[in-house]
Amino acid sequence: MEKPSYYNPYRPGAGHMPPHLAGRTEEKSEFLRLLQQDVILENLVLTGLRGVGKTVLLDTLKPMARENDWLWAGTDLSESVSISEIVAATRLITDLSVVTSNVVFEIQKVKTFGFKAEGKLIENTLNYEILLSIFNSIPGLVADKLKGLLEFVWGCIKDKGYKGIIFAYDEAQTMSDHAKKNEYPLSLLLDVFQSIQKKNIPFMLVLTGLPTLFPKLVESRTFAERMFRILFLDKLNEDESREAITKPLEDPKCSLKMSDSAVDLTIKVSGGYPYFIQFICREMYDILSQYSPFDKRTIPVEEITRKLDNDFFAGRWARATDRQRELLEVIANLPTSEKEFTVQDIVEASKVLDNPFSSSHVNQMLSKLVDRGLVYKNRHGKYSFAVPLLGQFILRLEKDQQGKLF
């Protein structure tokens, strides 16, 4: 009898679509509600820690938008997009051209933008070259040019059966303004979309990013607080976690199953975070394919955890200086480390150290750790780890170091 080919259904990775998307029902329902807006009063921000599935959910929303007759434009953002307003505008034009390049318009309609139109009407498409030409021909600042371009585009597509365009950007927390250089790309984005939405043009922003994203939006433009519907993606509950683990095993290509004890242990170790579930399940499935019987007693939890530490946590930990690591160790030992903590909590706990932290020093270091993506400041002025289960990783490191002393 021929041995069945090996197939592991789990897919840990940055933004990789899992074999089954568990949970997120409320978030998808909320997005559908936003798609029904006659006038765009609310845009969408998807935020949460690393590994909660923001990118995966964003990819899931795309077909939902198309099924409801919305066009979808967008990409991943990076710090380079925030270099200047013109770079940010170029990013928008580039993404827009991908979805409008097949839209035909009559060139006589745009002769005020510098096009020549002689004789019969000439048809053309809204490709990148045309969009850029229109943008450059509009007088005023970069914001004026973008507003004029987006208004023109809507005039060309509004009678073609589309409800509007979604501009979706992942890793949006990388955008920022640069007052010292008189460049305000993030403010540009917010100003332009608020302006065209006030004119009943149905172009909607969907932004995803770390928890630092929304405070950054509000800091840039205070009206952003009323401009967005904020959805914070949390870890999966126990039932959703179990579904994420067991559903992929229903694939006919899967010749192996996990015991209930293995599933329970995965839920516990992963903390309900989707990336960790995929990582641990992939490792467990590999082991299950090689050894039998497979139960709670034979699962190498410590070894899988150490591999996760090396693949997920080690690189982030390496970004911190020795003194910052000392501060993070203090935080990890706080009773509220997995939820939120204050500067005063850290100061009090550090008094047992030979070199304790002052309030001013903690504030400065937390600011640096925010920049490194290790912690974030919430809307209530308290801090939290920006990386899920980072505190547990730090405690494991502490235990390892203590073990080396003997």
Alpha-helix runs per DSSP H in 113-252: 128-137, 142-157, 185-198, 213-220, 224-227, 238-246
Single out the residue of 242, 129, 140, 150 nearest to residue 196, CA to CA.
150
64 CA to centre of own chain? 18
| CATH architecture for residues 39-233 | 3-Layer(aba) Sandwich (3.40)
Report the C-alpha gap between 186 and 85 in whole angstroms.
Answer: 8
Judge residue 278's burial from the number of C-beta atoms within 10 Å of its C-beta, 0-12 exposed, 13-18 middle, 19 or more buried: buried
Percent of the chain with pLDDT over 70: 89
Look up tokens 């909607």; give the residue: 204
Average pLDDT value for the chain: 86
Report the C-alpha gap between 53 and 362 in whole angstroms.
Answer: 31
Most confident region among 201-205, 356-360, 394-398 by mean pLDDT: 201-205
Choose the CATH number for 320-403 among 3.30.870.10, 1.10.10.10, 3.40.50.720, 3.40.960.10.
1.10.10.10
Beta bridge partners of 393: none
What is the separation, in whole angstroms, between the first and last Cα of the chain?
54
Task: Please give the average per-residue pLDDT across 271-277, as a whole number.
Answer: 89
Look up tokens 């004789």; give the residue: 119
Using one digit for the tens of pLDDT, what is the confidence trace for 304-323? 888 888 888 888 888 889 99
Using one digit for the tens of pLDDT, what is the confidence trace for 17-55? 777 788 888 999 999 999 999 899 999 999 998 888 899
Q: Using alpha carbons only, what angle is made at residue 215 by residues 363 and 83, rounded to the nearest 5 degrees?
A: 95
Q: Are strands 164-170 and 70-76 parallel, antiparallel or unpaired?
A: parallel
Using one digit for the tens of pLDDT, what is the confidence trace for 9-21? 888 877 667 777 8
Instruction: Return the pLDDT at 405.
Output: 43
Judge residue 195's burial from the number of C-beta atoms within 10 Å of its C-beta, 0-12 exposed, 13-18 middle, 19 or more buried: middle
Q: Are strands 203-209 and 43-48 parallel, antiparallel or unpaired?
A: parallel
Q: Are 74 and 242 in contact (CB under 8 A)?
A: no
Instruction: Return the pLDDT at 15.
Output: 64
pLDDT category of residue 4 using cuts at 50, 70 and 90: very low
Lowest mean pLDDT among 1-10, 77-86, 97-106, 391-400: 1-10
Q: Left (φ > 0), alpha (ψ -120 to 50) or beta: where does 44 sit?
A: beta
Instruction: Return the pLDDT at 207.
Output: 96
Single out the residue of 289, 9, 45, 68 nearest to residue 175, CA to CA.
45
Query: In this model, does residue 225 exceed pLDDT 50?
Result: yes
HEC readout, 20-77: CCCCCHHHHHHHHHHHCCCCCCCEEEEEECCCCCHHHHHHHHHHHHHHCCEEEEEEEC
Instruction: Return the pLDDT at 163.
Output: 94
